[in-house]
Structure 1
């Protein structure tokens, strides 16, 4: 592992099960459990040789956590230069520079760099909250862009995903359950057929606070599978055995 150059207020956080470390700055943006669960939820097609793209990658957590599962190239797309630069250093930290790269750009403007119809898998942990007249966005610009649909909304994201993917390519998304109707509408309009859903609960006997979604480009309508629920924490605020195993157990690709 390459020794990284850390800037002020930066730290290194690791995912032991995948042997991946991420450079983070809590003053800008830090990944959370949703990024880990998305990378774990995302399947691999064939031997994983196809191109994968992480849209809105932030510091690169989802794409880097997914990297040990596949053998193909991964591109991390991030609009914010500070986060993209941290992602690049995390790539070097994990010695993944030969097949993982960062594209610092608005995802609407990436098609000169990524050929339309060339992508096997899209991963995305997009902004969860729509903009309304009463929206109170975070004062910090990094969190504003990451949490609120300032730069991209669901219909635009679905359009970009459709353009990137090969026919029968797949997209994996983590989002909020209250946006499910919006997600279904946006995906259906772009021929992204939802095939698998898993709800994540903070604790048992509470409402779901996260949803993991798999969709396929130009897939047949119908046939949606609802996977068993995933509960993150026990009543004592410890990780459940299932989540603990995702974080600290065997590598996901074994």
Structure 2
């Protein structure tokens, strides 16, 4: 055979080898892209499955915080939160409706006098749950300083749904401690759900001095709240977002006679007993 023929054969062999190599690389790239797309789709599907959001829009006759009358006029209290697995991030507002009407709309100054930013981490194991969280209290258009709390909570999914949550102030009122014990129970009736509840708050002296302005020598019962929530599921398009309408009825008292006497001495705007109610709706996405 001539040298020219052998050289042509060698060249053709090199071309075939390079073609096979290029084809193998192309196939590998295609497989990588395909696997990546499948993995991305699975990841997005998993994230979407674990990701949720909720919106609550409440209107109340007044604003009571741990038994203390903060606003003795109608208020609008929206809450928006986003959850991913165990973590929830949210924002809650208190809007004075009378101020909002006078100033030209909800959210205008000084209608919104409180914004709470919060982060919550809750883990559930069988019937038990544990929570840890942080709340930042912002008071726009007021002279009140911002403050912060961290909290720890335990609960159980049994008929009375008992829970205990400890709130510890870590900012302006550092050392203030408030512990809330609560029970509640859902009673389904036709399409409605009635939920009576009872809450009992224990405060240390620093917490009650900061929020109520009273001088107490030691930890004491701060407030007791009797509540009833009536939940009505919404139909139509609202059913797709788990829309519900809620009626809230609450009666709050200061059961500690010493604290009641301290409040009377101050002759403050704080009501010793307060009935308040509200109507709102909530949606889950």
Name the TM-score, length of structure 2 as normaliser: 0.27
Which protein is richer in strand relative to its size? 2
> Greater Rg, structure 1 or structure 2?
2
Highest relative contact order (Cα 8 Å, sep 6+), 1 or 2?
1
- Scaled by the length of structure 1, the TM-score of the pair is 0.29
